[in-house]
Structure 1
Amino acid sequence: MIFRNTKWFIFSAVFLLTVFLATFLKNNINKEVIAKINGKEITQNDFNIALLFEQQKYKYQVQKYEDQKQFDDGNIFIPVPQKLSPQQILERLIDNEVLYQEAKSQGLEVSYAEAKEYMEETRKITNEILAGKLQVADREEFLKTENNLRQYIKGLGISEDEYWNQLIPIYQKYLSIGKLKAKILSSMPENDKKDPEKAHLYFEQYKNNLRKKYKIEIFKNNL
């Protein structure tokens, strides 16, 4: 059986984010407040985690791009990876917090129990892929990533159970944002929904308008 659930690939990024979070919390805590959204603080530590995550993601995307370019003899149909600036990373942190607060205000927050259930299903899928019961498009790459992840977990001195449990509140936040996004996009004309670019622009416009409803304070621009 070949696994094609796109949610797996969307939320696989959360795995690395959690590892970086644990690493920073253990070794490099900086609680300086650099922004607030309706009183909710974003710290320098939050930014450092997001920055490291983006750096690793960009490195991965560049490698994939170069591999694909070499494989296709220069004829490549995926976009050139774009590196985010520190200010763009901070703006993304702010956007996510605004969206999460809005999801909660509209009664769309995913419960802890629901997020835990999602975590357990994701963990089950991971184990089934490792056991060969499910197949992914690039099994070698998946196994390499999974092995690196397990080494990180081991290095942090935590169990796999502790690691997976740390994912629950992160899943809770991003699944809630996902529910809000699905609700907003459902109001689009049917034909426009089928166009990814139109859907992206529609949600970006919604997000930009939504920010005006929230009190956003930025205390540090030199990042």
Structure 2
Amino acid sequence: MLVVDGLQAGYGEAQVLHDIHLSVEAGQVVTLLGRNGMGKTTTISTIFGLLPTLAGRVTIDGRDMTRAAPHRVARAGLGLVPEGRQVFPTLDVRENLLATARPGPWTMARVLDLFPRLGERMGHKGSQLSGGEQQMLAIGRALMTNPRLTVLDEATEGLAPLIRDEIWSCLTRLKSQGEAILIVDKNLSALTRVADRHIVIEKGRTVWSGSNAQLLKDPTVVEGYLGV
């Protein structure tokens, strides 16, 4: 579904990504792991056309989308839950969900079934929601685009423990429904309960990739690339 091969990108003259390789197949949950500042958000921004690609290739369903505009990437089937949530602050919950909606199996009713709390806040503006509610709204908004792959950048960052548990429960439910997901998060324990495969990057390069079982069996990966 998504293949990234030899991706290079950066900000101005500062190159951040040097050799990123990753792939996500239909129905898979894949994580993008690495310490802070290693290029995870830059990788996602480049895939979505928010940063220019210096070299390498991004393909979606076999179509070259390397330098496609963000709206073309979205139309190709990628939905983004950005770092910091970025919900529309002056729109209420209903308006946020409808703003990017496209026809498909994900409807307003289905999103509210996944996140009942949003149903209780329908008249509240984005700026009036808690951080956890905003994250639920950001996920719901991405699902309303009816993506074939949902990408979550820092899925539970800054959320209270109970809200984090609720988000992970919802992601587990999405996986059980066959949704393809690419996740960035620091909670390795939670990630290993939901993921099929992991991609580890360091200093803008893919340094390890493998199955969930392989990661759990090889503590040197965690110690060498993910430890503080």
The two structures have a TM-score, normalised by structure 2, of 0.25
Structure with larger RCO (C-alpha < 8 A, sep 6+)? 1
**Which structure dedicates a bigger proportion of its chain to helix?**
1
**Which structure dedicates a bigger proportion of its chain to strand?**
2
The two structures have a TM-score, normalised by structure 1, of 0.25
